[in-house]
Structure 1
């Protein structure tokens, strides 16, 4: 998870560390109704975004959603078909890449194989108005930042994947850009190294104070790194929010299904009592109740969305009359050490995913639920969402 920002002093408004909540805050990057067409194909469709200074902002989506095209327009490698891009209050829509206060770290890292680590880091400084000593000091400063001082004379092929990633990051930061764009920066690393490097990247970004915009298709990476996420699909932005907002309060079926695992029960609203909505859902006996304060009308087609970890699984019949319940049988069980993932088949044939935290006092303690067990699933009305889009 993203490291929490320091708590503001008493009396300060909530938006001290969340400038997007401040109506008076000026965005550092503004994307205004940007469209990008390649012939008849619309790669980016009417995208508008506001990114604030020192944010670590993620563009998240699957292949072909338009996130990399949008990043390339921020860098100046592509020109919008229509719309505007402003950086630090200046219209950069038609400004060439070399005149923008922007640098980009490519997915391949693009290191020069014949150059040393130090020469790779200092390559972009050759045309800056700096003395040889100033350039050497800047390279040393960047190598210290990424903890590679002792690797300065090595060649890229003598480094691990994580070390090459840090060299590329140091080179991107050497020219002190106002905005750093990162295209799948951790995609070439294995899972364990990727998790470790996520925290390193966050710490470096916090030290240098540069605004980062990261493109990724990895939901966990976006959730761990970012201050906010823009979820994209088919050239459009579906939702913008903090990792908590996007995960706990998705605004549509696409976001709910794309970010993490979820159970979606399609149905019809049959009753409303205060903030509690009753839904007759397909494949579930009885009706489901959801705490949904947003207005909705009886007869509206909706989806009830429930995250797997919010469902309780037990061989015992639930005793809380206010919880939603469903009976089924364990079809599959995936054991991941700290948690287990169950696929439970209801009487209708519907499969429900349930994630259960494994809390064992002893290593040889038996599971409370196993393959083929008859089980009950239950969840609170407050654990679910009603999605109308």
Structure 2
């Protein structure tokens, strides 16, 4: 499931005339000789739930802190609704930030925590009370208004922090690993709650996370980061199905990568010869390639068909191997198949029907055939 976009958002990133809500223009951040963020440019549009995704030390949190105003760029600029806020302090930006720790005041009740940021707003007591009630209803915590943080579950504390962040109605909400403190089951449930809340309020969310599944579930678009740079920006389906480079392909989910040489180009297909594999691979490809160019063939494990019998057409993209390991996860099984060359190929098989005792399933040490269609693989040049 992907987040619903508010009615006024119709994939504006595809419209060259659309005006971004947040623009990061050639931003660099150095700490001494270390470059944490390296010449990053981004356009994020009103109503998006945008994720900055990457491993530890990739620069995503530093970039978020520059958006918040807690760090000043060494170069470049940050614009919000067309206004240059690069040197504007955090308290003067139309931005709020929700931290991973939630930072709730333990001595205050839920409603006091939510209303804390409204003290310095030009609002009457009645208006503040109405805004707190509105936020409590938004996060479905009306019955918990008088409780203290220690009397709440992790998911409830997360919602209090979110309500407090939204109470001042910022144009932009920044969330640093917002679900990192929750256990797996609660995190999955809270993802959908967060998406629904964002849809209702229509505020632009920018979320920092290292969790691939979380980014794929939450976001309208993802920016994959590595060593301070943006490797690819796109919708979750584009990032997963059409990675631009080896890093993105390898970082998002599991993938099989075969390094080879282009040995044939014909009618929308390329042929790649891979060392250690007897038959060339055939891949659908419409881009420009040259014979002899080194490339990588990328195949997701779920695109590979596994069976004990050889495929009807034993041509390209049909490999024989032996099951080295087998993991059963209920809804799917994961196989590690060893080819004669010693290469390991990952295969994910969906368990769509119940196994019966008298049915012969693929098992450890079985000799198996792997195959995939030319449309199921990609050619990567970077």
User: Normalised by the shorter chain, which TM-score bucket?
Assistant: over 0.9
Q: Distance in 2 between matches of 1:340 and 1:23?
A: 44
- In the alignment, structure 1 segments of 5+ residues that lack a partner are 9-14
TM-score by structure 1 length? 0.96
Q: CA deviation at 1:258?
A: 0.2
User: Which residue does the alignment assign to 2:175?
Assistant: 182
- Distance 1:382-1:4 versus aligned 2 partners, 3 A rule: farther
Map of 1:146-161 to 2, 5 A cutoff?
146-161=139-154
- Distance 1:281-1:176 versus aligned 2 partners, 3 A rule: same
What secondary structure, in the 3-state scheme, does the structure 1 residue paired with 2:115 have? helix
- Distance 1:114-1:221 versus aligned 2 partners, 3 A rule: same
Map of 1:151-300 to 2, 5 A cutoff?
151-300=144-293
TM-score by structure 2 length? 0.97
1:111 aligns with 2:88: no
What secondary structure, in the 3-state scheme, does the structure 2 residue paired with 1:266 have? strand
Equivalent in 51, 54, 62 of residue 47 of structure 2: 54
User: Which residue does the alignment assign to 1:383?
Assistant: 376
Contact 2:3 / 2:219 at 8 angstroms: preserved in 1?
Answer: no
Aligned alpha-carbon RMSD (Å): 1.5
1:316-352 C-alpha deviation (Å, 9 max, x unpaired): 1001356511000111111110101100000111000
Contact 2:49 / 2:219 at 8 angstroms: preserved in 1?
Answer: yes
User: Which residue does the alignment assign to 1:11?
Assistant: none
User: Which residue does the alignment assign to 1:352?
Assistant: 345
What secondary structure, in the 3-state scheme, does the structure 2 residue paired with 1:23 have? coil
1:131 aligns with 2:124: yes
Q: CA deviation at 1:285?
A: 2.3
What secondary structure, in the 3-state scheme, does the structure 2 residue paired with 1:69 have? helix
What secondary structure, in the 3-state scheme, does the structure 1 residue paired with 2:126 have? helix
1:332 aligns with 2:330: no
Q: CA deviation at 1:371?
A: 1.1
- In the alignment, structure 2 segments of 5+ residues that lack a partner are none
Contact 1:29 / 1:88 at 8 angstroms: preserved in 2?
Answer: yes
User: Which residue does the alignment assign to 2:58?
Assistant: 65
Contact 1:322 / 1:380 at 8 angstroms: preserved in 2?
Answer: no
1:76-107 C-alpha deviation (Å, 9 max, x unpaired): 00000000100011000000000000000001
Q: Distance in 2 between matches of 1:142 and 1:364?
A: 55
Q: CA deviation at 1:271?
A: 1.2
User: Which residue does the alignment assign to 2:135?
Assistant: 142
- Distance 1:165-1:367 versus aligned 2 partners, 3 A rule: farther
Q: CA deviation at 1:74?
A: 0.2
1:98 aligns with 2:85: no
Q: CA deviation at 1:362?
A: 5.9
Q: Distance in 1 between matches of 2:121 and 2:358?
A: 64
Q: Distance in 2 between matches of 1:202 and 1:109?
A: 18
1:32 aligns with 2:25: yes
Q: CA deviation at 1:255?
A: 0.2
User: Which residue does the alignment assign to 1:319?
Assistant: 312
Q: CA deviation at 1:216?
A: 0.3
Task: Tell me the number of residue pairs that the alignment of Structure 1 and Structure 2 aligns.
Answer: 382
What secondary structure, in the 3-state scheme, does the structure 2 residue paired with 1:79 have? coil
- Distance 1:60-1:149 versus aligned 2 partners, 3 A rule: same
| Regions of 4+ moved over 6 Å | none
Contact 1:315 / 1:373 at 8 angstroms: preserved in 2?
Answer: yes
Contact 1:331 / 1:345 at 8 angstroms: preserved in 2?
Answer: yes
What secondary structure, in the 3-state scheme, does the structure 2 residue paired with 1:294 have? coil
- Distance 1:208-1:4 versus aligned 2 partners, 3 A rule: closer
